[in-house]
Structure 1
Amino acid sequence: MKNEKGFTLVEMLIVLLVISILLLITIPNITKHNANIQDKGCKGLTNMVQAQATAYMMDENVSSVTIAELKAEGYLSNDPVCPNGNTIVIDSQGKVSESVPTP
């Protein structure tokens, strides 16, 4: 008989068991931090829209801007919506914030 090298069925089952245990440990940690991840994504989107609004106000020499104007001029490609579903709004002074919907 030839000396074939490879993994046996028992070795493969042990590897699958170890991978399963690692997945059982990591998946709950990821889902537990989901809200925190979404909040950080929304904060990043808010900062990006604030930067675009500031750039538009500097380019056009105006003191306020709307989301519609930013979209029309190509500063934004679509309506900014946070990963948690909240929308981004700009007040009359040009301050960008997250709009929390009322229940």
Structure 2
Amino acid sequence: MKRLKGEEAFTLIEMMIVLLIISVLILIAIPNVTKHSKSIDEKGCAAYLKMVQGEVEAYKMDEHSIPKSIEELSAKGYLPEGAQCPDGTQLKIDVDGKVGKADGTSGGE
């Protein structure tokens, strides 16, 4: 290939240095992103619990009773089938109509 006057190109060493810098930046950034994923899941679950609690209230207004389970809300069309927190935690409804995690915690409220 013929070189034009004044045309310069990157050398292999320069390209390797750029790739090394990019690799180091990625290695620094990835642990910070994964460290925050647990807190993101917890906040997502807390928000989902509040949304499901709203659906329980809507069910109470429509049906004049408290739903016995999440499955009952799903069957009546208030929630999608297999509703659970984004982190996979199952939800439950107690006898007072309060929504919580099936493991007994309140979801960070």
TM tier relative to shorter chain: 0.7 to 0.9
- Bigger Rg over Cα: 2
CA–CA separation in structure 2 for the residues paired with 1:46 and 1:58: 19
Are 1:88 and 2:91 matched, yes or no? yes
Residue identity matched to 2:33: I
1:17-96 matched pairs, under 5 angstroms? 17-62=20-65, 64-65=66-67, 66-96=69-99
Give the aligned CA root-mean-square deviation in angstroms: 2.1
Tell me by how many angstroms 1:6 deviates: 4.7
CA–CA separation in structure 2 for the residues paired with 1:5 and 1:69: 70
Unaligned runs of 5+ in 1: none
Structure 1's 75 and 6: CA in aligned 2 closer, same or farther, altered over 3 A? farther
Q: Deviations over 1:5-27 (max 9, x none)?
A: 55433332222122111111111
TM-score scaled by structure 1?
A: 0.79
The total of aligned residue pairs comes to: 100
Tell me by how many angstroms 1:99 deviates: 1.4
Pick which of 89-98 and 2-11 moved more.
Answer: 2-11
